[in-house]
Amino acid sequence: MREAVIVEAVRTPVGKRGGGLAGIHPVDLGAEVLDALVRRTGVDPALVDDVLWGCVTTIGEQSSNIGRWSALAAGWPTSVPGTTIDRACGSSQQAIAFAAAGVMSGQYDVVVAGGVESMSRVPMGSTRTSGHGDARGPRVAARYPREEFSQGVAAEMIARSWGLSRTQLDQHSLASHERARRAWDEGRFADQVVPVAGVQQDEGIRDGGTLDKLAGLKTPFDDSGVVTAGNSSQISDGAAALMITTPERAAALGLTPLARFHSFAVTGVDPVLMLTGPIPATERVLTRAGLSISDIGTFEVNEAFASVTLAWLAETGADPALLNPDGGAIALGHPLGCSGARLATSLVHRMVAEGTRYGLQAICEAGGMANAMILERLDR
């Protein structure tokens, strides 16, 4: 089987809801990163076999196969197809896995994977407000008889199960913002972020936060709970994309691979608790790779909620200093269909900059699923 390698990875800044990216149509937002891939690599877009695009809220301006429209909006030839993938918050990470598998199996030679979400223009949950009944169907509703599958409630359940306090969650939140600010100040995002519409940096990073300020926030999911807006991911806008090919094709195109795809895993868990998936997904991908947690030099685990990443740390025994060292979704934001590709972009650029051999990313997904992936840096 052939190897699949990443030759470029880019993202937009992540915009706050109603912020600097809110006025950009999500198709055009996706086109920005596709155009950036072409500028950076010099690859003729006519060589791209497919565009695999993650997007979650496929309604309104994000409906009708946004992957195809984004490629056309970037000015790519009509011969370049595109498709849109929805695996909830892991949609673009799943797009990456499908793209790499296509290269490894010989179905693709050059492929682009990524995703977009404009949560300012297409609000989260809007696909479930049509008035046509429960999207789960009566059999699932009977099997899991809850009025609503709520990620916030699930985050509270995880906090209780792992004995996580409000202070622990808030401290994790502060650390996320501090790490993200430091990453920007030290120029660690410079090689991966493409400014859009005058937005130069991620808009969600908060400076000057304190435990006292966070302690004043309400707990919307449980009056006696610990989960707040301050220790949860932000509702955001953004896009990210990676170009994937074989080492041989990369050499023919004059490109130096950043990393190769080593292993993948996807798994399911209880759809009510739903957000614990990164724990078994991490175990599964490490087993497939023949590696242990101590072999991994850096981790990107999506901070949907602080309780998710703290429970993951507790179960895996990973070094906390290696987890999201440039901040996570609590600080940077969580544009749903973009987030998996955003994690991968951050991961691969950090691996190259620091000379890290193995990097692992994992992301929880609504409905009780998770994706995990291991990348290996190639000698440069």
| Catalytic, out of 177, 262, 334, 349 | 334
Residue 299 lies in a domain: yes
Residue 362 lies in a domain: yes
Distance CA 201, CA 332 (A): 10
Q: How many domains, the chain?
A: 1
User: In whole numbers, what is the pLDDT of the chain averaged over residues?
Assistant: 95
For residue 320, the model assigns a pLDDT of: 98
Whether 25 is a known active-site residue: answer: no
| Catalytic, out of 55, 172, 262, 364 | 364
For residue 122, the model assigns a pLDDT of: 86
* CATH number, residue 295: 3.40.47.10
Residue 369 lies in a domain: yes
Look up residue 333 and give its amino acid.
G
* Lowest-confidence region among 68-82, 138-152, 166-180: 138-152
**What's the rounded mean pLDDT across residues 200-212?**
96
353 Cβ contact list (under 8 Å, min separation 6): 188, 191
* Lowest-confidence region among 50-54, 94-98, 150-154, 159-163: 150-154
Whether 55 is a known active-site residue: answer: no
Q: 135 pLDDT band (50/70/90 cuts)? A: confident
274 dihedral zone (left: phi>0; alpha: psi -120 to 50; beta):
left
Give yes or no for residue 316 having a pLDDT over 70.
yes
| Catalytic, out of 89, 177, 262, 349 | 89
Whether 177 is a known active-site residue: answer: no
Q: Which domain holds residue 329?
A: 262-374
For residue 136, the model assigns a pLDDT of: 77
Distance CA 339, CA 118 (A): 12
Residue 53 lies in a domain: no
Residue 276 lies in a domain: yes
* Lowest-confidence region among 55-64, 127-136, 305-314, 346-355: 127-136
182 Cβ contact list (under 8 Å, min separation 6): 326
For residue 61, the model assigns a pLDDT of: 87
Residue 360 lies in a domain: yes
Give yes or no for residue 129 having a pLDDT over 60.
no
**What's the rounded mean pLDDT across residues 250-275?**
97
Tens-digit pLDDT profile for residues 298-307: 999 999 999 9
Element housing 307 (H / E): helix 306-316
Give yes or no for residue 12 having a pLDDT over 60.
yes
Angle, alpha carbons 90-93-98 (nearest 5°): 120
Element housing 7 (H / E): strand 5-11
Distance CA 276, CA 372 (A): 12
The answer to whether 50 touches 232, Cβ cutoff 8 Å, is no
**What's the rounded mean pLDDT across residues 266-282?**
96
For residue 331, the model assigns a pLDDT of: 98
Residue 302 lies in a domain: yes
Element housing 103 (H / E): helix 91-105
Tens-digit pLDDT profile for residues 92-119: 999 999 999 999 999 999 999 999 999 9
For residue 124, the model assigns a pLDDT of: 73
Give yes or no for residue 294 having a pLDDT over 90.
yes
- Percent of the chain surpassing pLDDT 90: 89
Residue 136 lies in a domain: no
**What's the rounded mean pLDDT across residues 164-184?**
98
pTM assigned to the model: 0.96
For residue 379, the model assigns a pLDDT of: 74
- Percent of the chain surpassing pLDDT 70: 96
**What's the rounded mean pLDDT across residues 236-262?**
98
